[in-house]
A and B are shown apart, each in its own frame.
Chain A
């Protein structure tokens, strides 16, 4: 009797310590990355960095405004394309996806979810960039949207499935058509979760580099035309970090810090949405 209790305590203690150590490693990684970025990049974050475009090599004082704006446009457009399709697909899967077609869609989404992003980039290059004859921000957005859709679809599906069946039946019994029940009751109820999923998906694609190499390409000039090649933070980090100049390395670190900060903000926003929505429902 006593021996068993002792054993249980021992196992419990060991496991707690182990899990604690592992989570410490995970947190440590994040802290190290952030700390390193701050140490290397923070000093370069000045007014010029955010407002100026690159200056010719050799000169100092240039910024990455073109990449910040470019990232904003490319990611924004990707979200504009990807969110409705992703959410719609997720709703379809949860509400009507019990048949064969649902199975196929789910399978495709899962495969797409596991597809390396560079493959998606090549795919968009083949089907969009080549026929159009030139690289463009739009193609980059399409590539990122393709990456977003399966993520959002599967999260949406899971969250919509969590909505109690009784709520659905309540709406149907009031004389709601099925599609309206899906949109007004089910999707609304799952909205906070869906929004969080979307923010996480945006954060995930914001730092993607490989699919943009074949599509948005990059641009040393400030450009807001989505039909033209456009710079993005991730592309710019890639180019500057692998380049030969110290000035470039400095800017790359700073850009990486900005990108990381952006992702962090999105993640915090996602938490906040979830929290405040839950608070409101209580």
Chain B
């Protein structure tokens, strides 16, 4: 079975491996969303979303509360389908392969798509165990390599220096900002293709927020990041592309600079200038 990417190339899918091809650093989309709609029961939360999320870049999703940003993120890793009475139409392709195809195991998919939540949610375990959970479970590394992986992930999340002497203390004993970086490290330890972040800074003070923004710049060298934020400054500072959601529709999508300086849609303009939302 082969799939045609939006830029016209085709990618084969070997039968046993879900995500076989690490495509080169070319401007092909990592996520290709095709006419995606989503319903909670009878309420439609997303309407015909079409977007190509660029690879190795930070994409910010903005929009007023309740417009479907979280729903969109949680559709990519299929976390939403655990909610009873939900359904969708359309498709989302990760690396050219539908996340909804029969051959896609949602559990395997979630290893490829890391997620960081609004509230820091470390497990009530040691810092080390928090980060080691993913690799251990997924058999990503032989046992003796796990400490190395944990260190790597913690360094990537800019947390290593603060916790290296207390790896065996509970992760819940860290400060809020540290906990959130721990959660980022936990997601990174799985080496996902895509990192989804749902308002990761909303519970953090400006200092911790700034650290995470700096982190995004580092991380986008190796990961594709989609971040939901209510903070316009954050979106304009930290992202390369921005999408504006409104009432379940993606109204506008484009390079951040362009969207913030010359928005095509008047509602986008109204929202980013703070006239509503």
Interface residues of chain A, those whose CB is within 8 Å of chain B, are 98, 164, 166-167, 169-178, 180, 185, 188-189, 280-282
Contact = CB atoms under 8 A, between A and B. Distances in A.
B86 to A, nearest CB: 14
Interface in B136-157: 137-138
Q: Pick the most buried of A171, A173, A282: most chain B CB atoms within 10 A of its CB.
A: A173
Given A175-B111, A180-B137, A166 B190 contact: no
B60 interface: no
A167 B186 CA distance: 13
A166 B121 contact: yes
A282 B173 contact: yes
Give the size range of B's interface with the partner: 20 to 34
Contacts of A98: 84
B114 A173 contact: yes
Given A98-B84, A280-B170, A177 B107 contact: yes
Given A98-B84, A280-B170, A175 B121 contact: no
B119 A166 contact: yes
A174 B186 contact: yes
B197 to A, nearest CB: 11
A22 B59 CA distance: 62
Interface in B169-227: 170, 172-173, 183, 186-187, 190
B190 A282 contact: no
Contacts of A281: 124, 170, 172
B153 to A, nearest CB: 12
Given A170-B123, A172-B110, A175-B137, 5 more contacts: A164-B121, A167-B124, A169-B121, A172-B82, A173-B187
A172 B79 contact: yes
Contacts of A173: 77, 79, 110, 114-115, 117, 187
B156 to A, nearest CB: 16
B79 A174 contact: no
Contacts of B133: 171, 174
